[in-house]
Amino acid sequence: MIEDFLGHLQVERRMSVHTLDAYRRDLAALAEWTVAQERPDLLALNTEQLRAFVAAEHRRGLSPKSLQRRLSACRSFYTWLLRHGRIAATPAAGLRAPKAPRKLPQVLDADEAVRLVEVPTDAPLGLRDRALLELFYSSGLRLSELCGLRWRDLDLVTGFVTVLGKGNKERKVPVGSHARNALDTWRTDQKAISDSPVFPGRGGGPISQRAVQIRLKHLAQRQGLFKHVHPHMLRHSFASHILESSGDLRGVQELLGHADIATTQIYTHLDFQHLAKVYDAAHPRAKRKT
């Protein structure tokens, strides 16, 4: 049943390999627990028994975030069983995992972002690095989206890039003028055709995600940014800077390709954090005495 369910997620919902692996681990943990409790039939579990499983995982030391994901996998699994007539009611209805403290994403400020993307183009791989960083920061792409790009996905005349996001959902994102110029220079240097990867790896196929992560860390240090700079930090920075300037949360949601605006709302907390710092630094009754 679990393998059938995972097959459904892979084929019909087009979930990533990482998500499928996580669901497989979560449901395997449930199956192992039922065997240990001498209740090997997953179809016969009730709400109280599923709640006992979550409590046992909590006692075992799983973090609230991991428990939330584990319960989410169970919820999806039992909803699928219900829809296919394998059970009469889902035992996961109404179950809630402990709330996890929400960790705010780390971002670069505007000056740091500019310093990072303006890598020298006369260095080895300089044209590629400049184009990659400019596009990352200009359009807020996910790492997987950037690595999978081909030149046919880019319209440098109108300034848009078409990407396939999570769940194979297509969206168009604007590309800024600096990124368009850098990409045009890089394409000319490569004499690329429309079906070529925008950022090829050693074998001529798309560059690997790991290669981008390693290169970005190296470039950040070379540009004097001694932070843990990673690809998603550029996406966070893009979103935070757009929201700070525009105040348009719905627009940022569309640009990022978030299905749920609640995912995007974390950037409002960053914006409030920024405003609080401005207030503390500027208001005469807020300044700390030295």
Residue with tokens 């979550």, as numbered in its chain: 54
Catalytic residue among 8, 58, 258, 274: 258
Q: Quick check: is 142 catalytic?
A: yes
Catalytic residue among 70, 235, 236, 241: 235
Catalytic residue among 65, 75, 230, 232: 232
Q: Quick check: is 102 catalytic?
A: no
C-alpha distance from residue 189 to each of 159, 185, 193, 212, 253 (Å): 20, 6, 12, 20, 34
162, 194 contact by CB (below 8 A): no
C-alpha distance from residue 65 to each of 17, 27, 49, 98, 178 (Å): 20, 16, 21, 8, 39
Rounded CA-CA distance 270/261 in Å is 15
146, 129 contact by CB (below 8 A): no
Catalytic residue among 166, 171, 172, 274: 166
Q: Quick check: is 241 catalytic?
A: no
Strand order, beta sheet including 170-174: 154-155, 160-164, 170-174
Catalytic residue among 70, 128, 130, 142: 142
Q: Which residues pair with 171 in a beta bridge?
A: 163
Q: Quick check: is 235 catalytic?
A: yes
Rounded CA-CA distance 194/153 in Å is 8
Would you please indicate which residues are annotated as catalytic (active-site) residues? 142, 166, 232, 235, 258, 267
